[in-house]
Amino acid sequence: MQMARKFGVIAWGAIAAAIIVTSSARAEDTCPAGTLGVSRTAEVDTTGGPWFGEPYGNRDFLAPGEIVLTFDDGPSPNDTRAILAALAKECTKATFFVVGSMVADHPEVLKEVVAQGHTIGTHTWSHPNLAIMSISRATQEIESTFDEVQKVSPGTVAPFFRYPYLSSNKTTVDYLHSRNIGQFAIDVDSLDWRFHNPKDVIRKVMGGLKSRGRGIILMHDIHKSTADALPELLAQIKAAGFKVVNLKPKSQVQLIADVTPPATHATGVRLAAQKFKHQRTAMRTRKTPAADPIW
Ligand SMILES: [Zn+2]
């Protein structure tokens, strides 16, 4: 991943000047008093496939005190819905980076996320490590997921992408540059996939926000512990004075229609899901240097 990061830095430098992010300072005035709400909506220009979040993104994308809530790996019936309920109670918005096979399995849950006004980005079809596969397979993983969201909920998928395990290489980064798809890293990691404990999730997020003062927060909507943590976490975020920024794309993603997903039949989808589970287990249990975190 370190090599991938070097490539990414070079690529980022080459396009940094091309990034334009505009924001409306409009406050959400429809939220009940006392809720966290949304402080502003940021219209994100993904022309040139820029990075957002550490280490390559423009730090000034967010002002001090501003945060973005993100959830990866769903949609899942129980946990995504519980997270939606917690977000709705605080009248606030998030971005969901969805997995294509999960969308295929739970299209109705994706529609609920969309109906509640949240933003949809993607996170590959079967959650593989894109940095170690052929670019043709990697693009199939990427494009079939944008396609699947389009099929389930036309016109709602943003040109926003997050790499599984944040693992990229020069080829994948260049590809997303060419596709004008924003590449989302993170600033604050909840480590919810590791702890599975609401108190630890809250502690990690609030600790990260305290030290960074702003940032894109990573959580996962496939864990009950994350859903359980969210009401208290949002209360603490509100009490600490942080402001939620809602991300919306300036332009729609240009879809490559009818890309066949990597697994094309029911057994294949199940196998992909199994592999996904095993990969995550393997990644969780390996000895990983603290400087090289995984998602
Ligand atoms: Zn993931």
Q: What is the pLDDT of residue 29?
A: 60
Instruction: Give pLDDT tens digits for 136-190.
Output: 999 999 999 999 999 999 999 999 999 999 999 999 999 999 999 999 999 999 9
Of these residues, 220, 221, 223, 228, which one is catalytic? Answer: 220
pLDDT > 60? residue 288: no
CA 179–ligand 1 middle distance (angstroms): 21
Distances (CA, A) of 193 to 16, 201, 252: 32, 9, 31
CA 274–ligand 1 middle distance (angstroms): 14
What is the H or E stretch that residue 282 is in? Answer: helix 266-285
The per-residue DSSP string of 113-182 comes to HHHTT-EEEE--SS---GGGS-HHHHHHHHHHHHHHHHHHSTT-EEEEE--GGG---HHHHHHHHHTT-E
Question: What is the rounded CA–CA span in Å between residue 236 and residue 199?
Answer: 12
pLDDT > 80? residue 11: no
Residue 115 forms part of a structural domain: yes
Apex CA 96: angle with CA 246 and CA 262, to 5°? 145
Instruction: Give pLDDT tens digits for 37-82.
Output: 999 999 999 999 999 999 999 989 999 999 999 999 999 999 999 9
Distances (CA, A) of 134 to 160, 169, 172: 21, 11, 10
Instruction: Give pLDDT tens digits for 73-109.
Output: 999 999 999 999 999 999 999 999 999 999 999 999 9
Residue 145 forms part of a structural domain: yes
Work out the pLDDT band at 279, boundaries 50, 70, 90: very low
Q: What is the pLDDT of residue 263?
A: 64
Q: What is the pLDDT of residue 259?
A: 87
CA 187–ligand 1 middle distance (angstroms): 15
Residue 26 forms part of a structural domain: no
Of these residues, 45, 72, 79, 189, which one is catalytic? Answer: 72
CA 218–ligand 1 middle distance (angstroms): 10
Residue 184 forms part of a structural domain: yes
CA 203–ligand 1 middle distance (angstroms): 21
Annotation says 220 is catalytic = yes
Is residue 92 within 8 Å of residue 231, measured between CB atoms?
no
Residue 285 forms part of a structural domain: no
Residue 216 forms part of a structural domain: yes
Q: What is the pLDDT of residue 284?
A: 38
3-class DSSP string for 55-78: CCCCHHHCCCCEEEEEEECCCCHH
Task: For the chain, count helices (H), then strands (E).
Answer: 10, 11
pLDDT > 50? residue 290: no
pLDDT > 90? residue 4: no
Residue 293 forms part of a structural domain: no
Give the CATH number of the domain where residue 183 resides: 3.20.20.370
Q: What is the pLDDT of residue 13?
A: 37
Instruction: Give pLDDT tens digits for 214-270.
Output: 999 999 999 999 999 999 999 999 999 999 999 999 999 989 877 899 964 444 444
pLDDT > 70? residue 8: no
Distances (CA, A) of 122 to 18, 106, 157: 23, 15, 8
Tokens of 28: 């959400």
Residue-number span of the structural domain to which 253 is assigned = 2-18+36-280
Question: What is the rounded CA–CA span in Å between residue 84 and residue 247?
Answer: 16
Residue 234 forms part of a structural domain: yes
Annotation says 189 is catalytic = no
How many distinct structural domains can be found in the chain?
Answer: 1
Is residue 122 within 8 Å of residue 146, measured between CB atoms?
yes
Q: Residue 91: count other Cβ atoms within 10 Å of its Cβ.
A: 16
CA 141–ligand 1 middle distance (angstroms): 13
